Structure 1
Amino acid sequence: MKVGIIGFGSIGERHAQNAQRLGHEIHVFRTGNSSKFTKSSSEDFEFHFELEAFLSLPLECMIICNPTHLHAEFITYSIARSIPFFVEKPIASTLKEAAIISEALAKSPISNCVGYMMRYDESIIKIKELLTSGVIGTVTTGIAHWSSYLPDWHPWEDYSTGYAAQKEMGGGLALTCSHEIDTLRFLFGEPSAVSANSNSVQTLKTNADDYLDALITFKQGISILLHIDWFQKTPQRTLSFLGDEGRLDWDFFTREIKLSNHVTDTHTKYAFKADNNIMYQHILEDFLSSIQNKHSCKSEFEDARKTLEVCFQMLEGTNL
């Protein structure tokens, strides 16, 4: 399959390498010249620097990995040419853009997938299975915490020039780090109310939000406290859920799930391989399979649009 990659930052390179390992022909459209990339990491890819020439290729799918404010433009190219697309999150930089794309997809349906790869993480899938089985009873509340340090994300480049740090490029923490919001939707369904505070402490001197505190209430009555920031040099990414019979704790970096049930007085641990690329491989395989076998992906545009709506509700600090 001829796969077109739009954007060749770290995530574009990852998708290109994973697709190539699956035996696909890789064509990359890029405009940047990051010093991170060497010939050894990309010598088997065909690079294109003229958009019209790239779009004239007989591509069988597009993987869109450029800055958020450009997503809508390239999704539109895909739909107009009936080329299945994979787009990194968030799907667009505004709700209006997302609505226009939804209308276009309704008129011209094509296979699509959105890069919420946590839905494909084996430990997250296990958490969903465990909570659904009632292993800690009825879930009542929980805490989701993600702290990181933005300059460490891509240490080979100036973080302040990247899209994540620039509001006008669709950046900011609430949109860039929407994985946690999507993961909570994957586990518990749709929120019924959101109260949030998103702002900047200006430690990193960007023009975008750099922390988010929110209380999310889901339709079945579960309340989750969510904290995300990207100014902490000591990383943390954890989930803790409390039920009326016990608790479940998860750590992203170890991929361990710990269960405690005070009714049965049992303690159980599940361990998964802490290899981030596994979930990226699984989401790409699902997307490519959806093209060949005509099935839906676990993370499609219309579903991801709901995550985007929650993100903007948080930015506005209003109820749904």
Structure 2
Amino acid sequence: MRVLIIGYGSIGKRHFEILSCIKSVNFIEIVTKQNIQNSITYESLNVVNELNNYDYFIISSETLKHYEHLKYIIQRVSNKIILVEKPLFDKEYSDLETNGNTIYTAYNLRFHPIVSRLKELLQDEKIYYANIICGQYLPTWRPEQDYTKSYSADRKHGGGVLRDLSHELDYSSWLFGKILKVDSINSKVSDLQISSDDIFTAIMTTKDKVVLNISLDYISKIPIRRLIIHTKETTIEANLIDNTLLSYNSTGEKTVLCNTTSLDRNYTYKEMHTAILENKTRTLSSFKDGLEIVSLISSIKFMEI
């Protein structure tokens, strides 16, 4: 298996680290302007000698360039596997055909053991309402870099909390049905030195008639990623940071459904890549899924408060 990674920021490095440990991957090259020891690199995609030599493409460039890089690749190859980091694009595009390639969107949180367990638990449940909250203080998110110079800080380059934390939109659609109606606030409310949105909060409804309340932010001093789900029979509390899953019945009796004390930081990425390479598509976010999230994000307007 020959792999080409486009973009070598923090997420590109993580993909390289993980794929380097997968036995079926025997060759990885990188498109980056960085000089990486013991690796073959190209300064840009258009100087890569022969794209057909690769089996698996990873697009982990900044969101603004995803469309450009994907279009360049699919115009030149077919019957290849392509993984595009989330969100799929910075906005909606209408002129892209897959050309026989299999394209996935890197919503790896579907492979979190808590989310996977929720998918099983909720299959036969009558779900009424779910409250989903995710937030982390942007300056401490990637301590190795100046947050003001990160892509997250720049709305024009595809940054902002709505795109950065679009995992919550993806797994909500996967668990509760396609999101159809949104009433939201998407804005910048803090004194962070960024031009992008730092808060998103919304009431949504899905095709399965589930009411969702989703809140995302860059301002929480306590990292949080939690779901509270109310069904006909139970209330379920899922914590994706503490890796706990609890269920409460109508009398308040608690049942521990899952309690994974530690989870390797690369676990969900490893599981996603393994599923892709073994063609186990059930949990993967497809190209269509990715496009639906882009469409949803594009329908939400930034507003000044």
Query: Is the 2:197–2:302 Cα contact (8 Å) retained in structure 1?
Result: no
Partner of residue 29, structure 1: 31
Query: Is the 2:6–2:45 Cα contact (8 Å) retained in structure 1?
Result: no
The letter for the 2-side match of 1:53 is V
Partner of residue 42, structure 2: 48
Identity %: 25
Whole-Å Cα distance in 1 between the matches of residues 122 and 133 of structure 2?
19
Partner of residue 163, structure 1: 151
Unaligned 5+ segments in structure 1 are: 34-41
Q: Cα distance, 1:307 vs. partner?
A: 1.2
1:284 to 273, 296, 299: 273
1:201–1:303 CA distance, 2 compared to 1 (3 A): same
Partner of residue 85, structure 2: 88
Whole-Å Cα distance in 1 between the matches of residues 74 and 270 of structure 2?
24
SS of alignment partner, residue 69 of structure 1:
helix
Partner of residue 36, structure 1: none
Q: Cα distance, 1:297 vs. partner?
A: 6.9
Q: Cα distance, 1:282 vs. partner?
A: 1.1
The letter for the 2-side match of 1:210 is D
| Cα-to-partner distance string for 1:100-126 (whole Å, 9 max, x where unaligned) | 22xx22xx1211211100112221010
1:132 and 2:95 are equivalent in the alignment? no
Whole-Å Cα distance in 1 between the matches of residues 252 and 187 of structure 2?
43
The letter for the 1-side match of 2:48 is F
Partner of residue 2, structure 1: 2
1:238 and 2:238 are equivalent in the alignment? no
1:230–1:26 CA distance, 2 compared to 1 (3 A): same
SS of alignment partner, residue 114 of structure 1:
strand
Q: Which residues in structure 2 correspond to 1:103-252 (within 5 Å)?
A: 104-105=97-98, 108-134=99-125, 138-252=126-240
Partner of residue 315, structure 1: 301
Partner of residue 37, structure 1: none
Whole-Å Cα distance in 1 between the matches of residues 134 and 252 of structure 2?
31
Whole-Å Cα distance in 2 between the matches of residues 193 and 121 of structure 1?
27
Q: Cα distance, 1:279 vs. partner?
A: 0.9
Count of residues paired in the alignment:
297
SS of alignment partner, residue 231 of structure 1:
coil
Whole-Å Cα distance in 2 between the matches of residues 117 and 183 of structure 1?
9
| Cα-to-partner distance string for 1:158-180 (whole Å, 9 max, x where unaligned) | 11122111111111111121000
Structure with more helix by fraction: 1
Partner of residue 70, structure 1: 65
Query: Is the 1:6–1:62 Cα contact (8 Å) retained in structure 2?
Result: yes
Q: Cα distance, 1:47 vs. partner?
A: 2.3
| Greater mean deviation of Cα atoms: 181-190 or 243-252 | 243-252
Q: Cα distance, 1:54 vs. partner?
A: 2.2
Unaligned 5+ segments in structure 2 are: none
Query: Is the 2:190–2:219 Cα contact (8 Å) retained in structure 1?
Result: no
With normalisation by structure 1, the TM-score equals 0.86
Whole-Å Cα distance in 2 between the matches of residues 310 and 196 of structure 1?
12
Q: Cα distance, 1:146 vs. partner?
A: 0.6
Query: Is the 2:45–2:69 Cα contact (8 Å) retained in structure 1?
Result: no
Query: Is the 1:254–1:274 Cα contact (8 Å) retained in structure 2?
Result: no
Whole-Å Cα distance in 2 between the matches of residues 266 and 252 of structure 1?
18
With normalisation by structure 2, the TM-score equals 0.90
Whole-Å Cα distance in 2 between the matches of residues 55 and 113 of structure 1?
24
Query: Is the 1:245–1:263 Cα contact (8 Å) retained in structure 2?
Result: no
| Greater mean deviation of Cα atoms: 11-20 or 178-187 | 11-20
The letter for the 1-side match of 2:66 is H
| Cα-to-partner distance string for 1:136-166 (whole Å, 9 max, x where unaligned) | xx22112100110112222121111221111
The letter for the 2-side match of 1:253 is I
Query: Is the 1:86–1:113 Cα contact (8 Å) retained in structure 2?
Result: yes
| Greater mean deviation of Cα atoms: 152-161 or 122-131 | 152-161
1:299 to 273, 285, 288: 285
